[in-house]
Amino acid sequence: MDRRTFLRATVAAGAATILAACTREQAAEVRDVTAAPLEPASTPEPISLPTPSPTPAPARSRVVIIRTEDRAAGTREALERIRPDLSGKRVLIKPNFNSADPPPGSTAPDIIAETVRFARDEGAGDLVIGDRSGMGLTRSVMDSLGIPTLADNLQLALVDFSQLPAESWILMQPDQGHWPDGFAVAKPVLEADAVVNLCCLKTHRYGGHFTMSLKNSVGMVADMVPGLPTRFMQQLHASPDQRKMIAEINLAYDPEAIVMDGVDAFVQGGPATGTRVHPGLMIAGTDRVAVDAVGVAVLRMYGTTPEVSRGSIFDLEQIRRAVQLGLGVADPDRIDLEGDEDLIERIREQLLA
């Protein structure tokens, strides 16, 4: 049984013993972010699950690199080339809505719209956009980016993870992990048949060092769960093991597809604003380690922070910990790059440096 099947089966069994999850109509509504949390005495405990072992890491991983100035067209080409299996599946689209800043501060709406069109062309079932913002109230960020209108126009559900009740969070604690109290994952992520990770290409000034597909998963984790005292994001950002903890979150799910927006990138600063460069790329694959390693290689081509530039790419803490956990390919020689040959050669030089 793979990780996704294990989680969905265990979540379903646990959910039967507590309050039912949000209805589809409730999930489609981005609820008022100012709502008061429930009192601890009346709040059901979130389900607590062991974190399963990862599915075996691939022997090789394919990463597609597309030169483009058109994010929608680049997204379509990327998805057509990696061809995720979405037919008949409940699909959760996880964008980067960390803040209301334009790309690469956040995921461009046209990338989301094209992902939805592709999924429907592939025969996907229910589609949901879900996220929790890290810089600003999630509802305000979504409103500023025009996401509720986009969701209405595309007739799909939109979930503000920050407003989920306690019973819609799943507590996990990886073996030999670095989270003192574990971490709480939004149940809609675990109930999805397929997750599409739409990330951006940028550095991260607050301790992550870079934020791509592995770091984008932080938006699936609670800041706080109603009724519990733990401040999960406070624990993350205060820890010297922050980058290892970022990797550990990714044990909770397997992405069906990753599409990274590299049309613009931050090589300094981030995640909301920073020093902008223009690679003119979309990067796609199914392996978070391989995709992020390629993203770091692109940042290094343009000159980036000492933290991102130092040493081997596979020695960077996010990537090294992800490899230890079996989340992706184990070394750069096992990444198969597809795209413009000159660009591929430059990226390969960075990967092997």
Reported as type and span, the H/E element at residue 99 is none
How far is it, in rounded angstroms, from Cα 87 to Cα 125?
7
| pLDDT exceeds cutoff 70 at 10 | no
Q: Which residues are CB-neighbours of 254 under 8 A, at least 6 positions away?
A: 2, 3, 4, 55, 195
CB–CB of 292/314 below 8 Å?
A: no
The two counts, helices (H) then strands (E), for the chain are: 14, 13
Does any domain span residue 27? yes
Question: What pLDDT shows up at residue 323?
Answer: 96
Answer whether 163's CB lies under 8 Å from 61's CB. no
Q: What is the mean pLDDT of the chain?
A: 89
Three-class secondary structure of residue 171 per DSSP? strand
pLDDT of residue 175: 84
Please say whether the dihedral angle defined by the alpha carbons of residues 291, 216, 102 and 114, taken in this order, is positive or negative. positive
CA separation for the pair 49, 55 (Å, rounded): 17
The answer to whether residue 287 is domain-embedded is yes
Helix (H, G, I), strand (E, B), or coil: what is residue 327?
A: coil
Domain-embedded: residue 37: no
pLDDT of residue 56: 75
- Whether residue 324 lies inside any domain: the answer is yes
**What percentage of residues in the chain have a pLDDT greater than 90?**
82
CB burial of 132-164 (b: ≥16 within 10 Å; e: otherwise) equals bbbebebbebbeebebbebbeeeebbbbbbbbb
Residues 242-257 have a mean pLDDT of: 97
Report d(CA 195, CA 32) in Å as an integer: 25
Q: Is the dihedral of CA 14, 224, 146, 208 positive or negative?
A: negative
Mean pLDDT, range 327-341, rounded to an integer: 96
Whether residue 47 has pLDDT greater than 90:
no
Report pLDDT for 30.
35
Q: What is the pLDDT of residue 29?
A: 36
DSSP class of residue 38 equals P
> How high is the pLDDT of residue 274?
98
- The string of DSSP letters for 273-286 reads SEEEE---EEEEES
Which residue is associated with the tokens 């978070």?
A: 288
Which has the closest alpha carbon to 31: 201, 188, 160, 118?
160
Phi, psi (5° rounding) for residue 286? -125, -5
Question: Which of 255, 195, 236, 225 lies closest to 61, judged by CA?
Answer: 255
Q: Are 201 and 265 in contact (CB under 8 A)?
A: yes
Using the predicted structure, report yes or no on whether residue 42 has a pLDDT greater than 70: no
pLDDT higher than 90, residue 7: no
Domain that holds residue 327: 3-31+42-352
For the chain, what is the domain count?
1
Name the band, by pLDDT with cuts 50, 70 and 90, for residue 48.
Answer: low
76-123 pLDDT per residue, tens: 999 999 999 999 999 999 999 999 999 999 999 999 999 999 999 999
- Asked if the model's pLDDT at residue 249 lies above 80, the reply is yes
Strand, coil or helix: 173 = strand
Is 321 within the bounds of a domain? Answer: yes
What are the backbone dihedrals phi and psi of residue 52, each rounded to the nearest 5 degrees, phi first? Answer: -70, 165
The DSSP secondary structure of 186-220, one letter per residue, reads EHHHHH-SEEEEEEEEEEETTTTEEESHHHHGGGG
pLDDT of residue 174: 87
- Tell me the C-alpha to C-alpha distance, in Å, between residue 91 and each of 2, 167, 224, 257: 18, 21, 25, 11
Mapped onto helix, strand or coil, the DSSP state of residue 10 is helix
Q: How many Å apart are CA 288 and CA 273, to the nearest integer? A: 23
Mean pLDDT for the stretch of residues 119-131: 98
Residue 36 lies in a domain: no
